[in-house]
Amino acid sequence: MWGKAKKEDKLAAARKRAAAKSMKGAKKPDPRIAKLKKEKGLGKKNEDDVKPTHFDITVFNKSFKRYVACHGELRS
């Protein structure tokens, strides 16, 4: 068991070094680009692009009940 724990410690240290190395080369966002996006309004999400969280079916249900309740002659 002591050998297995030692091996796991070495693997964990190697993973930590690899993660630190990959973060070292990561690009940081340019503040000038962020400023231009803010001026042009490109950073904002449009309300049309956002997926709705719920749908209000009461309006549809009310109109459907009225449609079904009237006679066929009135509908045509």
pLDDT at 70: 86
Residue 72 pLDDT exceeds 70: yes
Task: Considering only residues 47 and 10, tell me which one the structure prediction assigns the higher pLDDT.
Answer: 10
pLDDT at position 62 over 90: yes
Q: Supply the pTM of this predicted model.
A: 0.31
Average pLDDT, the chain: 79
CA distance 30 to 41: 17
Indicate the number of domains in the chain.
Answer: 1
- Structural domain harbouring 24: 2-75
C-alpha span between 29 and 44 (Å, rounded)? 17
- Burial of 26-54, coded b for 16+ CB within 10 Å and e otherwise, reads eeeeeeeeeeeeeeeeeeeeeeeeeeeee
| Confidence bin at 44 (pLDDT 50/70/90) | low
